[in-house]
Every structure is written in structure tokens, then in C-alpha cells.
């Protein structure tokens, strides 16, 4: 209940300004069910995807964010935590193995509550504007929950807020929502999971027009260190 308060307040405060400044061009929003469990699967060009897309969806969109965003020390860490809560994000440990399983369990809990779960199937922001291979977690979530998947394409958010840039450029943002996709089958069949994940990326690619790369998106490299994007 408390987490919904900052989310609602932030949305009410930001939406009029963002609508006026960035003039979102939205297609297919009628495809988004207003109630019931739902997975929104989007391409990922910029951090601002998590702001613009939920702004036009007529229901709360919950994202699974790295737990590190909620545990950073000091005033800056507290501000970051409050910001992610206000954006409707919940913390999960996504560093692999059993921890990735915990992220799936959290996602299934969100869906079992009849809520809307936002996912970036690529697992990270695209480093070059192309569309990369999906992780299979989204396939498991779709099959085990029975929730429909709405493919989404974001446009120009990488120009509005390039990686590392705090203050956004004022440009028009676009997004396109596809028709619901439903999946059944054995959630332990790895070949089937791969097929489902690929079908979701095909749908996103048809909406976005991005060049597809049949490999996982590379992790961010900075100062000789590999850092995972959100």
C-alpha cells in the first residue's frame, strides 16, 4: 500500500509535464487489458523507457530491478531507492543461478496478484540501437502464469536520454503496443522456452523495425570492468 503512494504521486506530478514536453506518439494502446495478469515486453533503448512507457499505460506497471538499486548507502542511495519505488519497481537479486530463480518467483507473484509486469526480454539496454536475443525467463513467466504478453516498441528514447546522460533532451517519444500473445506448454522444456522467447522478440522487432542480432546483448564495459545494466 505504501509503495503505491509515491508511485501515484509521481505519476500525477510528472505526467502533465512529460506529455507536454515529449508529446508521446502512441499506437495500439487499446491492446493493453485494463485488468488481470499481464506481461508487457519491451525493447530497451534507455533508462527513460521505464518512465515513458508506464506513463501512457492505464494501469500500474511493475518492473523487477536490481537489488543494488535499493541498498546503496548514504543520502544518494536513499534518493535512488525512493526513485525506484516511485517508478513502480521492486528489488530482486538477478546475479544468476538460484538468484535468477528468485527473480522469476517474484515475477510470478506479481502476476498471481493480477498485476501488470514490465519486462525487457534482452536483459539490458541495447548498446547500439539493435534488437538482441531474449533471455528465456520471459517465456517461463508467460507459460507458468498464463498471462498474455503485450510486445512493445519504444522509439527515440536513446536520443532523449543516452546512456550516462542525466538531463534528457527534449524530443518526441514514440511507442507501439502489439496484440496480446498467449503461450502454453512445458515450462521445463528448454527448446520450447527458446522458441517462445524468440517469438516474442520477432513481434517486438516487427513493431520497432530494429535490426535483429541473434546473440545476447553485451554487458556494459567501463574502466576495464564489466557492469550489468538494468
Residue with grid cell 521505464, as numbered in its chain: 50
Distance between terminal CA atoms of the chain? 25
CATH number where 56 lies = 3.40.1130.10
- Render each residue's pLDDT in the chain as its tens digit; 230 residues: 444 556 777 777 778 888 898 999 999 999 999 999 999 999 999 988 988 998 899 999 998 876 666 667 777 667 667 767 767 777 676 555 556 787 888 899 999 999 999 999 998 899 999 999 999 999 999 999 999 999 999 999 999 988 877 788 999 999 999 999 999 999 999 999 999 999 999 999 999 999 999 999 987 544 344 344 44
Q: What distances in angstroms separate CA 105 from CA 112, 155, 183, one per listed residue?
A: 10, 31, 18
Domain count, the chain: 1
Residue 138 belongs to a domain: yes
Residue 32 belongs to a domain: yes
Residue 219 belongs to a domain: no
- Cα atoms found within 13 Å of the Cα of residue 20, Cβ hemisphere only: 5
Residues 85-115 as b or e (16 or more Cβ within 10 Å = b):
bbbbbbbbbbeeeeeeebbbebbbebbeeeb
One DSSP character per residue, 146-193 reads: ---EEEEEEESHHHHS-TT-SSPP----EEEE---B---S-TT-HHHH
Residue 224 belongs to a domain: no
Residue 144 belongs to a domain: yes
d(CA 89, CA 100): 16
Residue 230 belongs to a domain: no
pLDDT of residue 191: 97
Helix (H) or strand (E) holding 213: strand 212-213
pLDDT of residue 64: 82
Residue 221 belongs to a domain: no
Q: What distances in angstroms separate CA 93 from CA 18, 41, 67, 138, 182, one per listed residue?
A: 31, 20, 5, 16, 27
Total residues found in the chain within this entry: 230
Domain hosting 43: range is 4-212
Global pTM? 0.85
Cell numbers that stand for 116 in this block: 501488470
Amino acid at each position: 500500500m505504501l509503495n503505491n503512494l509515491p508511485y501515484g504521486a509521481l505519476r500525477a506530478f510528472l505526467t502533465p509535464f512529460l506529455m507536454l514536453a515529449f508529446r508521446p506518439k502512441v499506437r495500439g494502446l487499446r491492446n493493453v487489458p485494463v485488468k488481470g495478469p499481464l506481461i508487457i515486453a519491451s525493447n530497451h533503448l534507455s533508462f527513460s523507457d521505464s518512465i515513458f512507457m508506464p506513463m501512457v499505460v492505464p494501469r500500474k506497471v511493475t518492473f523487477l530491478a536490481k537489488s543494488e538499486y535499493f541498498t546503496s548507502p548514504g543520502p544518494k542511495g536513499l534518493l535512488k531507492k525512493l526513485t525506484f519505488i516511485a517508478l513502480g519497481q521492486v528489488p530482486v537479486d538477478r546475479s544468476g543461478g538460484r538468484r535468477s530463480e528468485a527473480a522469476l518467483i517474484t515475477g510470478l507473484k506479481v502476476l498471481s496478484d493480477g498485476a501488470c509486469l514490465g519486462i525487457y526480454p534482452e536483459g539490458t539496454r541495447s548498446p547500439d540501437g539493435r534488437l538482441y536475443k531474449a533471455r528465456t525467463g520471459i517465456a517461463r513467466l508467460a507459460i507458468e502464469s498464463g498471462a498474455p504478453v503485450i510486445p512493445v516498441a519504444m522509439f527515440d528514447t536513446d536520443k532523449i536520454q543516452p546512456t550516462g546522460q542525466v538531463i534528457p533532451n527534449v524530443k518526441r517519444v514514440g511507442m507501439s503496443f502489439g496484440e496480446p500473445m498467449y503461450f502454453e506448454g512445458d515450462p521445463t522444456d528448454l527448446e520450447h522456452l527458446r522458441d517462445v522467447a524468440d517469438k516474442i522478440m520477432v513481434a517486438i522487432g516487427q513493431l520497432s523495425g530494429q535490426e535483429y542480432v541473434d546473440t545476447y546483448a553485451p554487458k556494459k564495459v567501463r574502466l576495464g570492468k564489466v557492469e550489468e545494466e538494468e
